[in-house]
Amino acid sequence: MDTNRVRRSRKRAAEAARLHTLAQDPAARAWQASRVRLVLTAAALTALVGALAWSTTGVHHTLTRGMVEHTAAWWGAWAVEPVISTVLLVVVGARAFLATRGRVLHHPHLAVVEYGALAVTLTLNVWPYLPWVSVPWTRFDPMQLLAHAIGSLVAVGAVAVLPIIWTAFADLDHGLPVGPTPTSFTPEYRQNAPDTAVTQQRATSDRVALLVDRARWMIAAGQLSANPSATRLRDALGCGTDAAREVRDALRRGAA
């Protein structure tokens, strides 16, 4: 007869084997990546909001030097940094969300607004502590300068890394098959869907077919491996992540 210790060990071994098998499941891998992305995003946004809150006090101190307390201008100075931060958060949120849809948002106007806002925030935070502003010069304290620059520096770091991290998560290949969506080829959909939807679906199917033909030509020419990943296909074909996954699955079905 098996002892209790043997039964416990067999149970733990069976559980570990099933957990390992589950960890290799594409759906489980996608869920795990989604959870990790959520945790990282929450941590980065918490750091960003905290840094901007600390920066708000520094901006208020700079703007209210020599100002009478509790006047309208004194209270209004508290709103300067939140207004700048709101514009900054809009740009960061748009970049990060579009990255999950396979679209990297690059525009010179956005870059100017983004880094212009950070530059203004940094200047307003450190201005009273700069060497040529401190009077007399002996009052200059480098640690005070660094302490009031931390908020803007952390904000710059969060703004820089969030879109990159979201883009990397969007490019992950979990091995999930891209199943067919309802199209004009199903009788029920053909009767109920408007003509515009049918036209769009056919255009999408034609585009994917052209991408598949181009990918096969690149494989035959040695520019792609025989079994390329969705990320490699996206870079080579210049298409979105979803289209690259459909091309990858079409190539695998053709090989099978």
**In which band, very low, low, confident or very high, does the pLDDT at 237 lie, cut at 50, 70 and 90?**
confident
- Are 143 and 215 members of one domain? no
**In which band, very low, low, confident or very high, does the pLDDT at 137 lie, cut at 50, 70 and 90?**
low
Residue spans of alpha helices (H) in the chain:
4-23, 26-63, 72-76, 80-100, 108-126, 142-170, 187-192, 195-220, 230-237, 241-255
- Are 208 and 165 members of one domain? no
232 found inside a domain: yes
pTM above 0.85, yes or no: no
26 found inside a domain: no
- Are 111 and 230 members of one domain? no
What the block records as the tokens of 237 is 């074909």
pLDDT at 176: 55
Across the range 145-164, mean pLDDT stands at: 82
3 found inside a domain: no
64 found inside a domain: yes
Across the range 220-240, mean pLDDT stands at: 81
19 found inside a domain: no
The total number of structural domains in the chain stands at 2
Q: Which of 138, 170, 202 is the last residue of a domain?
A: 170
pLDDT tens-digit readout, 27-81: 878 888 888 888 988 888 888 888 888 888 888 888 888 788 888 888 988 888 8
68 found inside a domain: yes
Cα–chain center distance at 254: 33
- Are 54 and 133 members of one domain? yes
Which residue range(s) make up the domain with 251? 187-255
Higher pLDDT, residue 167 or 11: 11
**In which band, very low, low, confident or very high, does the pLDDT at 134 lie, cut at 50, 70 and 90?**
low
What the block records as the tokens of 194 is 């408007």
pLDDT tens-digit readout, 163-202: 788 878 877 766 655 444 444 444 444 454 455 444 445 5
Q: What percent of the chain has pLDDT over 90?
A: 0
Task: Give every CB contact of residue 150 below 8 A, 6+ residues apart in sequence.
Answer: 51, 54
Q: Which of 117, 139, 170 is the last residue of a domain?
A: 170
Dihedral sign, Cα of residue 76, residue 117, residue 160, residue 92? positive
17 found inside a domain: no
Cα(145)–Cα(161) distance, rounded to whole angstroms?
Answer: 24
- Are 212 and 108 members of one domain? no
**In which band, very low, low, confident or very high, does the pLDDT at 248 lie, cut at 50, 70 and 90?**
confident
200 found inside a domain: yes
